[in-house]
Amino acid sequence: MARSRQFDEGEVVARATELFHRRGYHATSTRDLGEALALNPSSLYRTFGDKHALFLRALDHYQASESARCTAALEDDRPVRLVLREWLYSMVEPTDLPGCLVIHTATELGTDDPETSRRVDAAFQGTTAAIAALLRRGIAAGELAADLDAEATADLLFTTLAGLRVRHRAGHDLQRLRAAVDQALRVLG
């Protein structure tokens, strides 16, 4: 008779997400995961398959929660410039886990792993699309210039966001990061 699990799988994935976010994929060993998650190797392998499979689950978990947060922030009906400014500022606020797991993954793993690369690309596209939708709303409402290219501007703002998140992870000064946000938003006119 098989023994029942003595742990909450969702909670384990959430804790693994934090560990991968803090340390990165390569710097997190299976032993580290076992210790941090209080799982023996057989439970870890039986439940998740291997470190890579657990990492993909952690990346999915992170992206689901970040997507929900991003969507809620960018669907705010206040003036577009204010929404973008507050959202970008929130990306560089001091936190226990600075930066973004998806961006860290992109810089650490690049295109070496197709499954990871697919998830990173989907996350980047989703965020860029949400920014573009907000910009189109601003154009339609007359808040932004009618000739503003929403897609190109969304790409620019996303690229700015990615750089901000890397600089945030590197511990750069908050005031300088906020000044960079303000300068980037000047492109909106």
* Separation of alpha carbons 115 and 19, rounded Å: 20
CB-CB contact of 160 with 187 (8 Å): no
Of 100, 99, 121, the C-alpha closest to 110 is: 121
pLDDT above 60: residue 172: yes
**Structure tokens, 41:** 């190797």
One-letter amino acid identity for 108? E
Q: Evaluate if pTM is beyond 0.75.
A: yes
Predicted local distance difference test score (pLDDT) of residue 86: 97
- Class of the CATH domain delimited by 9-58: mainly alpha
CATH fit for domain 65-188, picks 1.10.287.40, 1.10.357.10, 1.10.20.10, 3.40.50.720: 1.10.357.10
Predicted local distance difference test score (pLDDT) of residue 118: 97
pLDDT band at 97 (very low <50, low <70, confident <90, very high): confident
Q: What residues does CATH 1.10.357.10 cover in the chain?
A: 65-188
Tell me the pLDDT tens digit for each residue of 10-59: 999 999 999 999 999 999 999 999 999 998 888 888 999 999 999 999 99
Of 86, 83, 114, 116, the C-alpha closest to 101 is: 116
pLDDT above 60: residue 1: no
Q: How far is CA 141 from CA 135, 136, 152, in A?
A: 10, 9, 19
**Structure tokens, 61:** 């978990």
Predicted local distance difference test score (pLDDT) of residue 183: 97
Predicted local distance difference test score (pLDDT) of residue 2: 47
pLDDT band at 5 (very low <50, low <70, confident <90, very high): low
**What is the overall mean pLDDT for the chain?**
93
- b/e 40-69 (16+ beta carbons within 10 angstroms → b): eeebbbebbeebeebbbbbbebbbeebbee
Of residues 2 and 56, more confidence is placed in: 56
Q: What residues does CATH 1.10.10.60 cover in the chain?
A: 9-58
CB-CB contact of 23 with 32 (8 Å): yes
Tell me the pLDDT tens digit for each residue of 120-162: 999 999 999 999 999 999 999 999 999 999 999 999 999 999 9
pLDDT above 50: residue 7: yes
